Amino acid sequence: LPNRDCDAKASIGEICCTVNKTTGHCDLDTESDCEDGLKEYKETYVQPFIRILKKYSKDVPVVVILEPDSLPNLATNLKHPHCGNKA
**Residue 47: per-residue pLDDT:** 94
pLDDT reported for residue 81: 65
- pLDDT for 15 equals 83
Query: Between 10 and 76, where is the model more confident?
Result: 76
As a whole number of angstroms, the distance between CA 2 and CA 83 comes to 9
Q: Where residue 51 falls among pLDDT bands split at 50, 70, 90? A: very high
Residue 26 bridge partners (DSSP): 19
| Other Cβ atoms within 10 Å of 28 Cβ, number | 20
pLDDT for res 2? 73
